[in-house]
Amino acid sequence: MLEGFVGYIVLVLVGILAGVISGMLGVGSGALLIPVLVLAFSVPQKSAQGVTLAVMVPMALIGAIRYKLNPEVEVDLGTALLLAGGAIAGVFLGTELAMKLPAHVLRKMFAVFLFVVALRMFFGPK
């Protein structure tokens, strides 16, 4: 892992890139941050997942507020609350499962997930 001033600058720049991609495409920062932390900074898979979840909260809130304030974009808060309720319940199960699985299995599951989603997005309906 990069340490010192240069390491901090690189992490801030990666954070900016994650924020831009997340705000522009509406994706969670995990799609970018987990691979960067694991591959470029040698952060263990489970630690990278935990860091990324912590980053998502403030970033997602700011992004959601900015979209909600845009009169051209309809953000249904009822839908958001239902999804959030389900996600909060689900994250308890997901983190429990993640703690029980070996890191190399989680890494492969994450890679397959990204690959399948990418294929569906690319070849799916327009």
**Looking at residues 15-35, what average pLDDT do you find?**
88
Kindly list the distances between the CA atom of residue 115 and the CA atoms of 24, 31, 106, in Å, as whole numbers in the listed order: 20, 11, 14
For residue 6, what pLDDT is reported?
87
Q: In this structure, what token pair is assigned to residue 96?
A: 């429990």
Domain ranges of the chain: 4-123
Q: What is the pLDDT of residues 109-126, one digit of tens each?
A: 999 999 998 999 899 887
Residue 1 has pLDDT above 80, yes or no: no
SS3 102: coil
| Cα gap 4→91, rounded to integer Å | 33
Our measurement of the distance from residue 20's CA atom to the centroid of its chain's CA atoms, rounded to an integer in Å, reads: 12
Q: In this structure, what token pair is assigned to residue 112?
A: 């397959």
For residue 4, what pLDDT is reported?
85
For residue 99, what pLDDT is reported?
95
> Which residue do the tokens 């009822």 mark?
78
Kindly give, in sequence order, each residue whose CB lies less than 8 Å from that of residue 47, ignoring residues fewer than 6 positions away.
Answer: 37
